[in-house]
Every structure is written in structure tokens, then in C-alpha cells.
Amino acid sequence: MPLQALIDALSLTVFHLDQPERQVTGGYCGDLLSWVMGRAQADEAWLTIMSNGNVAAVAALTDCACVILTDSVQPDPDLLVKAKAHGINLLGAGAETYETALALAEALRAKA
């Protein structure tokens, strides 16, 4: 599913959008950065409440399609700067991680 379609389907807030056409193939939920580094897959949407600058490094390392900050979390200024510098698609959701993950799964199934 194209990232822009996911943004529209989930009514996500855009903090930085570098690649609206990037395909999202799945999702990963996690807040422990070292855990995410070893488990998140390329082209997945990463759902987290972590908003520090290290999130951009992990997103780049895993080649995730986007980072979705859940629970109305706002990005730290350092994260926003790094997301822009490294082309990380950075989005926000007002819902909790669980609810956002359910909506993501539903949207991906509907597009399949």
C-alpha cells in the first residue's frame, strides 16, 4: 500500500514526508530501540511512542517505510531534524499503539 494512501486511511499527522509513494508491506510495534533494530523489517510501518533522535537512526538502519508516533506523541526537535536529514517518513497517530496497529492491519488487508 502506498504510504500516502495509508496516511489518508488512518488520518495520520505528517511531521515529515519524504517518500509518499513508498510501499508499506506490514507493521512492527516496539519501543525498545535495540529490540526493533533486530526485528523490524524493511518496508514496514514502525509504531512507537519513542520520539528521541535515535529513532531516526533505527528507522534508517531497518529501512522501515515510516515511523508512526502513537498516543499523540510529538517528535522531539532532534528527531524531526534527523528525519528530514535522512529522509525518514515521520507520522503521528492520536490513537494508542494497539488501536493504530489494528487500523494498519485492516488497511493493509483491504488493499490486498
Task: Return the C-alpha cell found at 67.
Answer: 515511523
86 close to 15: Cβ distance less than 8 angstroms: no
* pLDDT tens per residue, range 26-36: 999 999 999 99
Q: Tell how far CA 80 is from the center of its chain.
A: 13
* pLDDT tens per residue, range 24-68: 999 999 999 999 999 999 999 999 999 999 999 999 999 999 999
pTM confidence score:
0.97
Question: Could you state, in order of their start, the residue ranges of all structural domains in the chain?
Answer: 3-111
Q: Structurally, what CATH architecture does the domain formed by 3-111 represent?
A: 3-Layer(aba) Sandwich (3.40)
CA distance 56 to 22: 17
